[in-house]
Structure 1
Amino acid sequence: MLIREVMTTPAATLTTASSTAAALQLMQQEQARSLPVVDRRGTLIGIVCQADLVRNRGPAGDRTSLPSGRVPGTTLSDQVGAVMTHHIVSVGPDEEIQVAVDLMQSMVLEEVPVVENDRVVGTVYRSDLIRLLLGPSRTFGLEASAGTPPSKRPADADLVTPPS
C-alpha cells in the first residue's frame, strides 16, 4: 500500500515568518508534535517541533528549565525561522507505507511530512498507520479513517509493525 492512500491532506504548514505562538497554537489544533516549514513556493525548508518551541520559550515561571539569564515567559525569537530544524526527514506519496513505519520507529516520530516535487502534499501520522493496522473491522466503533484531520482523531497507541 502506498503512503498516498493513508496520508492526511492537506498538510498544516508554517513559514519562517510564522510566529512561535501561532506554531504552538496550530500544533495544539492539529494535535501534532511537529509541523513542516515551507517557503513562499511551498517548498519544504525545515521542520519545527514542540521541543524547538519549548527550548525557545521556556515555561513561564519555571526557572529550572531555562537557560542562564533567560526571563520566564520571554522568547529569544518570535519567528519559526529562528528556531526550526533544517535537518528534514520526509517520505514520498508513492513510497510503500513500510518506509514511513520504519522511519517513525527508528527516529521516534509521530508524523512525517509527505513531499512530492519538493512540496508538502500531506502528512502521514502515526494514527493513520494505526488505523490501517487495526483494519476496518477492528476500529472498535470509531468511524475515523485515513485522511481524517488529527483534531478529530482518537488518542494514538504505540505503533507496531504487523507480523510478516
Structure 2
Amino acid sequence: MKVRDLMTPNPVQIAPETAVAEIARILIEHHINGVPVADTEGCLLGIVTEGDLVHRAADERLEPRESLWKENFYRSMFRRRTPAEPDKAEGRTAEQVMTRDVLTVAPDSNVIMAARLLADHNIKSLPVIENERLIGIISRFDLIKRLASNADTFNPMSED
C-alpha cells in the first residue's frame, strides 16, 4: 500500500507570516496537531506543531526545572543564533516558530516506511511531497483509521 492511498490530500497549510495566535486557532479548528508552512508556490518551508507552540506556555507557566540554569547557560553560550532569530517562545510568526528540518515522504512511498518514520522519530505526521510541492499529509491517525478498518493492513509479511 502506498502513502497516496492513505494521505489527506491538499492539507491545511499556512504562510510564513501567519501569526502564532492564528496558528493555534487553525490547529484547534481543524483538529490537527501540526500545519505545514509553505511558500506561495506550495513548496514546503517547515511545519508548526503543537510541540512548537508549547514552548510559549512552558516558558511562562511551568515552575523552573532544577536544571533550568544549565539549559539557559548552554543556550546562551553554545547556540549559534543570529540576533534576528528569536527563540520559539519569543516567536510571533510561523517562520519564527516552525520546525525547519522536516521529514517528508513521497506519495509512492510504502505506508510501512511512513509508519516507521513516524514511530522512529516520535512524530505525528509527515508532509507528502511531489515535484517539490506539498500535496498531502499522512498522520498516525490516518494509519490507525486504516488499521481499524482492516487489521491485516500492516502485516509486514503481506505483499500489498
TM class by shorter chain equals 0.7 to 0.9
Counterpart residue identity of residue 32, structure 2: A
Separation in structure 1 between the aligned mates of residue 33 and residue 145 of structure 2, nearest angstrom: 19
Partner of residue 48, structure 2 = 48
Counterpart residue identity of residue 61, structure 2: D
CA contact (8 A) 1:32 1:111 kept: no
User: Is the aligned partner of 1:91 residue 2:105?
Assistant: yes
Partner of residue 151, structure 1 = none
User: Is the aligned partner of 1:16 residue 2:16?
Assistant: yes
Matches within 5 A, 1:60-79: 62=61, 64=63, 76-79=90-93
**Gap runs ≥5 in structure 2:** 70-88
TM, length-normalised to structure 1: 0.72
Answer with 1 or 2: which has the greater Rg: 2
TM, length-normalised to structure 2: 0.73
Q: What is the identity percentage for the equivalent residue pairs of Structure 1 and Structure 2?
A: 28
| Cα distance per residue 1:105-138 (max 9 Å; x no partner) | 10112211111111111111212111222225x7
Counterpart residue identity of residue 121, structure 2: M
CA contact (8 A) 1:93 1:116 kept: yes
Counterpart residue identity of residue 85, structure 1: T
Residues 48/65 of structure 1: CA separation in 2 closer, same or farther (3 Å cut): farther
Partner of residue 126, structure 1 = 140
**Gap runs ≥5 in structure 1:** 69-74, 139-160
Residues 19/65 of structure 1: CA separation in 2 closer, same or farther (3 Å cut): farther
The 3-state SS of whatever aligns with 2:127 is strand
The CA RMSD measured in Å over matched residues stands at 2.5
CA contact (8 A) 1:2 1:97 kept: yes
Partner of residue 38, structure 2 = 38
Residues 104/60 of structure 1: CA separation in 2 closer, same or farther (3 Å cut): closer
Q: How many residues align?
A: 135
